[in-house]
Amino acid sequence: MTTMLTTEQVARGQQLLGGVRDGANQVLLGQNDLIELCLIALCARGHLLLEGQPGLGKTELVKAFATLTGLQFRRLQFTPDLLPSDITGGPILQERDGERQLEFRPGPLFANLVLADEINRSSPKTQSALLEGMQERSVTVLGETHALPKPFFVLATQNPIELEGTYPLPEAQLDRFLFKVEVPGLDADTMSAILTSRRRGEPPTIGLALQPGQLEELFELVDAVFLPDAIANYIARLVAATHPANPGNSQVAEAVRYGASPRAAIAIGEAARAAALLQGRPNVDFDDVARVAVAALAHRLVLQHSAVVSGVTARSLVEQLLQDVPAVAKPLPEEVQ
């Protein structure tokens, strides 16, 4: 018989996650939902793409997570002249014991937490250099494959308004991000709090929230969260409903050109586990799926050109699908209430 997390284990998980969340909340004020989504992505061992206007604290958030988790952090500022070898590293000629030989020198990608700042400013060639690292957790240079350190996260940011000289990420790379989170703006109260509590906007100094080994413990707890068959079926129906061939509603049929991949369903499942643990549950519930579905699905939908011009967004489509796709596949008769 399968056993699930005990109350103590769930509480332990909540405690660990709560520490990271509280620390991040000290750095980034008024962005609790964003922080939780980032935490969920981190627990699900997925990569995160933050999209927002400049000055919203995206970079600070990533740096705060690196500090709180104690992970090795590297920052990559993507520019159009950035080469793949600049991020993956490459062979250099070394002389040892009177012999010259090519020796691989790891690039900034070899870190636990990589901040790919303004990732859409680099060329597609450089962007694609991230593909193997994000999916396989390894880098291949000159036919030699080098494993990336564990855990490995890529937290990328991109600016949606400065589009000149940028290279939009291809769908294959977007699909490798577990979440794409749009960083919302701040309200006046939050900005007032920032002004009064921080000089020159500098965040407060924070310490480690997770001791060495606790992150691995957190990962094990997330993996132990139970995903019932009914919920897995709901996730599958939700992802299948994004395809125009089998649309969940008429809006999807008209606006979506390509639906989400099975990788999206896997991402939702893993993220829902982390969300359940964050909520203090030993198992996934329908609410956990609804909580992570928008962030996991929206960037994976390829919309029709007409839909884009008419203002339809993938986020609104997913939100509508969450209402249209029933949690139970077989509804009760109308004569029953």
Partner 1 sequence: MLAPVTDAIQRFRRRLRLATFVRAVSVASFAAMVVVAGVLLFERFADTQILTSLPWWGVWCGIAAVGLLAGFVLMRRTAFDDATVAQHLEQRLATNGLLLTASQGVALDASYQSQLTKRLTHTDTVLPAIRWQHLLMRPMAAAVLVIVVQYLPSEITQQSSNEALEVAVERLKDEVEQVAQLESVPDEQVDELRAAVTELEERVATADNGLWREIDQLQERIDREEKLAAGDDGGAGGGNGESESDDESAGDSNGSQQPFDRAQLAAAMSKLGKMDKQGKLDGALLGKVMDALPGTIDDAAKQAIAEAVQEDGSVAPEALPEDPEALAALSEALAETAEQLGGESEALAEMAAGMSEEQVDAMADELAALAEQFDAGASDPDAPDAGAPDLGKQEEQLKADISEDLAKTAAEMAKAGALDKLPEGLREAMVEAGLSALENMDLQKLMSLLPEDLSQLTVMAENLAKAAEGMSGEQGSEAGEAGGPQPSEALKTKMGELAKGLMEKVGRQAAQMQGQPGGQQPGGQQPGGQQPGGQQPGGQQPGGQLSGGQMSGGRQPGVGTEGGGHAALRLTEDTQGGLGKVDVELPGRDPDDLPKEWVPVTIDKAKPEVGEAHAPGVGRAGATGRGTATWQLRLMPRHRDVVRRFFAEKNKKNK
| In contact, 77 and 207? CB cutoff 8 Å | no
Nearer to partner 1 (CB atom), residue 29 or residue 43? 43
Min. distance of Cβ 332 from partner 1 in angstroms?
Answer: 6
Are β-strands 47-51 and 177-182 bridged in parallel, bridged antiparallel, or unpaired? Answer: parallel
Nearer to partner 1 (CB atom), residue 2 or residue 205? 2
For residue 156, give the DSSP letter.
E
Min. distance of Cβ 46 from partner 1 in angstroms?
Answer: 22
Q: Which two tokens stand for residue 64?
A: 């705060």
Min. distance of Cβ 283 from partner 1 in angstroms?
Answer: 4
What is the amino acid identity at position 226? F
Nearer to partner 1 (CB atom), residue 193 or residue 302? 302
Which has the closest alpha carbon to 177: 283, 264, 90? 264
Min. distance of Cβ 32 from partner 1 in angstroms?
Answer: 21
Nearer to partner 1 (CB atom), residue 120 or residue 214? 120
> Cβ atoms within 10 A of the Cβ of 131, count?
14
Nearer to partner 1 (CB atom), residue 204 or residue 228? 228
| In contact, 283 and 276? CB cutoff 8 Å | yes
| In contact, 224 and 4? CB cutoff 8 Å | yes
Instruction: Name the site residues for partner 1 (rule: CB under 8 A).
Output: 1-7, 51, 160-161, 163-164, 168, 226, 228-231, 276, 281-287, 302-303, 305, 308-309, 311, 313-314, 327-330, 332-337
Cα 266–136–84 angle (5° rounding)? 125
Min. distance of Cβ 317 from partner 1 in angstroms?
Answer: 12
